[in-house]
């Protein structure tokens, strides 16, 4: 697709041809400033042996750019009209696999075909990395990012366009309004940064919110320090159910297996006072708290 073609009138005409209508509830907003697609592609630093996952193929404009650099692109599109429109512009020999279904089995699990397809193509490379590069549909951005970090095959990096509000939560620090379980879940395994904010005017239809390009880079050492990822994710989510409550009450209320003496012992071990709150703890302190509680329970 020529960079001159993705105008609003071009999209309207092509969507009419394939019988597609954008739905805001699906987060179907399309970049009309294609310079930003080039920026995303460059930021992802794709190498010739890399296998790239794209969730939300859309018109295929980003897909084509990714395929020019990667060993293979696995792109997932739930809408059959968009899948048809994108596939029509892929060259027959392009290293692209288009999966026409939901990327998620449910909100807590990725569709098995997605990871299986990525793994198959990754196994065919010598030393390539798995990377997520996508304009993520707003409705699935959080579960996609969260579940990929829980998977046995996590991406080496994620370079994604998401809502600015979500981006702020991902990079948030303790004692700020955006600090959340998602902040901790991402930062306990990765380094995350906002690369650029995107105004609604660079999309069509215009979303009601500002967006951002975010890069999340996996830290294998951090990830390896967490023994049971699924249990730890559950702990972090429970901890932030009442993030402003005093820590002891929040923990006892969220986890039936914890009692006040156990929590008090763990907090004393870490030098946490009675008025400590989840929203004040650093990512490292939360991990230490999890280990201290586990040790206190086994006394």
User: What confidence category does residue 133 fall into, taking pLDDT thresholds of 50, 70 and 90?
Assistant: very high
User: What confidence category does residue 236 fall into, taking pLDDT thresholds of 50, 70 and 90?
Assistant: very high
The topology under which CATH files domain 229-297 is Helicase, Ruva Protein; domain 3 (1.10.8)
> What are the boundaries of each domain within the chain?
8-224, 229-297
Whether 63 has a pLDDT exceeding 50, the answer reads yes
Q: What is the dihedral of CA 204, 216, 240, 151, to 10 degrees?
A: 100
User: What confidence category does residue 1 fall into, taking pLDDT thresholds of 50, 70 and 90?
Assistant: very low
User: What confidence category does residue 2 fall into, taking pLDDT thresholds of 50, 70 and 90?
Assistant: very low
Q: Residue 5: what pLDDT?
A: 55
Residues 66-103 pLDDT 10s: 999 999 999 999 999 999 999 999 999 999 999 999 99
Q: Which of 14, 124, 94, 95 is nearest to 58 (CA)?
A: 14
On whether the CB atoms of residues 98 and 55 are closer than 8 A, the answer is no
Q: Which of 115, 101, 178, 184 is nearest to 147 (CA)?
A: 115
CATH superfamily ID and name for 8-224: Vaccinia Virus protein VP39 (3.40.50.150)
Q: Residue 3: what pLDDT?
A: 43
* DSSP H/E element including 23: none
Predicted TM-score (pTM) of this structure:
0.95
Whether 285 has a pLDDT exceeding 60, the answer reads yes
129-155 in b/e form (b: 16+ CB < 10 A) is bbbbbbbbbbebbbbbbbbbbbbeebb
Measured at the alpha carbon of residue 28, what is the angle toward residues 31 and 204, in degrees to the nearest 5?
Answer: 40
Q: Residue 298: what pLDDT?
A: 76
Q: What is the mean pLDDT of the chain?
A: 94
Whether 4 has a pLDDT exceeding 50, the answer reads no
Averaged over 117-129, what is the pLDDT? 96
User: What confidence category does residue 28 fall into, taking pLDDT thresholds of 50, 70 and 90?
Assistant: confident
Give the residue ranges of DSSP H helices in 162-282.
164-171, 181-187, 220-224, 229-239, 247-254, 260-269
235-265 in b/e form (b: 16+ CB < 10 A) is bbbbbbebbeeebbebbeebbeebeeebbee
- For a pLDDT cut of 70, what percent of the chain falls above it? 97
Q: How far apart are CA 4 and CA 19, in angstroms?
A: 23
Is there a cis peptide before residue 205, judged by omega within 30 degrees of 0? yes
């Amino acid at each position: 697709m020529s960079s001159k073609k993705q105008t609003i009138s071009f999209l309207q005409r092509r969507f009419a041809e394939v019988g597609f209508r954008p739905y805001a509830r699906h987060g179907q907003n399309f970049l009309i400033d294609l310079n930003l697609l080039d920026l995303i592609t460059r930021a992802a630093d794709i190498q010739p042996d890399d296998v790239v996952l794209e969730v939300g193929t859309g018109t295929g404009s980003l897909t084509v750019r990714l395929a020019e650099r990667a060993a293979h692109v696995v792109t997932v599109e739930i809408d059959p009209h968009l899948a048809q429109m994108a596939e029509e512009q892929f060259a027959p020999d392009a290293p692209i696999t288009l999966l026409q279904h939901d990327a998620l089995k449910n909100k807590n699990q990725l569709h098995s075909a997605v990871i299986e397809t990525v793994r198959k193509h990754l196994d065919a490379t010598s030393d390539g990395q798995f990377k997520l590069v996508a304009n993520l549909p707003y409705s699935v951005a959080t579960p996609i990012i969260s579940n990929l970090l829980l998977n046995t095959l996590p991406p080496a990096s994620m370079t994604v366009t998401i809502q600015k509000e979500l981006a702020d939560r991902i990079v948030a620090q303790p004692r700020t309004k955006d600090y959340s379980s998602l902040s901790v879940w991402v930062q306990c395994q990765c380094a995350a940064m906002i690369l650029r904010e995107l105004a609604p005017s660079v999309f069509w239809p215009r979303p009601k919110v500002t967006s951002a390009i975010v890069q999340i880079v996996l830290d294998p050492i951090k990830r390896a320090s967490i023994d049971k990822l699924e249990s730890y994710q559950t702990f972090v989510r429970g901890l932030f159910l009442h993030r402003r409550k005093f820590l002891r009450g929040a923990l006892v209320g969220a986890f039936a297996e914890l009692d006040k003496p156990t929590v008090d012992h763990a907090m004393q071990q870490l030098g946490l006072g009675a008025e400590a709150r989840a929203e004040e703890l650093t990512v490292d302190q939360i991990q230490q708290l999890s280990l201290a509680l586990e040790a206190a329970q086994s006394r």
